[in-house]
Amino acid sequence: MNGFGLVALCGGLAVVLWVLAKLGRAFAAIAETLAALAVIGVALWALLRAVGWIVRQLVTRWRSCLAVLAVTAWWHWWGWLSLALVGGTLALATLVWHVVDAVGFDRWCGRWLRAWWLRWAVYGRKLPDWLHACGLTIRDEAVPVDVTVNLVSRRRKREAVAQARQQSGVAVPALLRVRSGPSWDEVQVRLVPGQKPEDFDDAARALATARRVTRVQVREVSPDVVSLDFMRRDLLATPVSCLPLPDLVAVDGTGVDLRGVYAGRTEYGKPWLLPLTGPGAHTLVAGATGAGKNSVMWCPLVSAASAIRAGVVRVSGIDPKGMELAYGRGIFARYGVSGKEALDVLDALIDVLEARKREFAGITRDVPISAENPLELLEFDEIGALTKYTDRKTREAIVERLAILTTQGRALGFGVRGYVQEPTKDTVPVRELLPRRICLRVTSKTHVGMVLGDGAYERGAWANRIPESAAGVGYAWGEGIREPLRVRAGWVSDATVKALENYVTNGGAQVIDLARKRREGNARGTA
């Protein structure tokens, strides 16, 4: 290699080294820029997450946040001593308020404090474990990820999936709200994708065991939110009284709302109202011997006593045993015991029904209830005795007439209330024509579904678990009600039944003696 070639080679190497040096500095600058951007991005991401967490806490736990802020501000401006004095004074005032007026304290203060404490100390810590143990969780990999979902769906998905990852790779329904009443805790949770409210219905008993309560009611608040109502205290543990007769002073019957008369108390401590007219007038009450069917029968009649006395309500009774309704025989305008007498009662009701059809056809769609056109209420005790356990001809005739009354009678001012021990379709062929159902204590789990419909037991209607000592306790399920309502009918003593009879008959209520009318008709026919 000559000198020129050596110089060219050295020059080329110098150029390559210079280019590499320039590129290295450029690459270093690019790397430094990217690293700085990455650090800034991570910092902004962490800041946004922190701000989002603070905002969520302010929205979902605003009471606690305000309390912490108030305590911090007070300590900052006035010190710990004044804070302790104010806290002690508030605690003493709260204790005195609770002692003096426990009901008012619970309404305005106690339930909020209890809900706050239960959220932090009980449901916030233990509910994810209970849901996981009861099979109410979804594995994370089973939760679908859709990149096209909107921001609201992303927030809900993060809330449902990321909030409970401590459960070893499963997604737990998010706790949304806790409310506490005198006897119930309402815990609202948001379902994760892949769940449905019926899953919580099936796990109601398991949730009750986990919470160590006797009853859990599952209510669907919205398509993806359910409320788990835990009963802390049973308000139906003691007998419920019926309304006293002296309070029924409206002689004209206008003071009684027949669309909902008092029948007892619900598990939420509210009055249980039963309609004697309207869509829910036709009622089927099922229960074993001693379950309290008589309370469901007599308590609404006591509540409607002034309307019966004024003739606005006319009650007919069919009593195959000849015992229960006979004790208050005076309030029944028509009364029958045997199959023939039951047919007489039903035929008399159908005659009134046909007369009203001819009178009001084309004039009104619902007959107005009045003393001229009273509500015709049929109390059919032990309905199965005459719809199954009798001769075929009588049975078919009774079923035919009951079908006419239940399918045509609502708009014409008729109501049928039947009581049965064995609620099978064979025993009560017109069972489906009695839309309002009440299931008292029964001997079999299958009877619950026969009375209240499919899925009633899974939704909390545990009528086969009602103790024998709880007469009158049962579950009501009418039109438009998804969740069965636990109720207790008001107890009516023998003395009250006699007082009701005297109250009604002394007012001049009309009693139709079908046997006498039949004898008079036979006498005229003979003559």
Mean pLDDT (whole number) for 183-211 = 89
| Lowest mean pLDDT across 51-55, 128-132, 159-163, 458-462 | 159-163
Does 427 count as an annotated binding residue? no
The interaxial angle of helices 514-526 and 339-360, nearest 10 deg, is 90
* 385-401 residue pLDDT tens: 888 888 888 889 999 99
Query: What ranges do the domains of the chain cover?
Result: 111-231, 240-526
In this predicted structure, which of 186-200, 246-260, 437-451 has the lowest mean pLDDT? Answer: 246-260
36 assigned ligand-binding residue:
no
- In sequence order, the β-bridge partners of residue 480 are none
Looking at every residue in the chain, the average pLDDT score rounds to 78
> Which carries the bigger pLDDT value, residue 198 or residue 253?
198
Question: Using one digit for the tens of pLDDT, what is the confidence trace for 21-40?
Answer: 556 666 666 656 666 666 67
Amino acid occupying residue 202: D
Known binder of ligand: residue 287?
Answer: yes
Q: What is the pLDDT of residue 420?
A: 92
Sign of CA dihedral 281, 286, 290, 292: negative
Topology (CATH level 3) of domain 240-526? Rossmann fold (3.40.50)
Angle at 33 between CA 27 and CA 36, to 5 degrees: 140
> Minimal CA–CA distance to 466: which of 227, 287, 320?
287
Q: Does 317 belong to an annotated binding site?
A: no
289 has binding-site annotation: yes
Q: How far apart are CA 243 and CA 490, in angstroms?
A: 8
Q: What angle do CA 240, 245, 250 make, to 5 degrees?
A: 125
User: Does 394 count as an annotated binding residue?
Assistant: no
Interval 427-439 mean pLDDT:
89
d(CA 389, CA 384): 7
Model confidence over 232-264: pLDDT tens digits?
888 898 899 888 875 544 455 567 888 889 999
pLDDT in tens, 89-118: 767 766 676 566 665 656 666 677 777 788
According to DSSP, residue 245 is labeled G
Q: How confident is the model at residue 57 (pLDDT cuts 50, 70, 90)?
A: low
Any idea which architecture 111-231 has in CATH? Answer: 2-Layer Sandwich (3.30)
* Residue 286 annotated as part of some ligand binding site: no
- Position 141 scores a pLDDT of 54
Q: Does residue 192 carry a pLDDT above 70?
A: yes
* 400 within 8 A of 387, measured Cβ to Cβ: no
Q: 424 among the known binding-site residues?
A: no
The model carries a pTM of 0.72
More confident residue, 256 or 52: 256
| Closest C-alpha among 482, 497, 480 to residue 278 | 480
Q: Residue 224 pLDDT more than 50?
A: yes
What per-residue confidence (pLDDT) applies to 117? 81
Q: Output the pLDDT for position 377.
A: 94
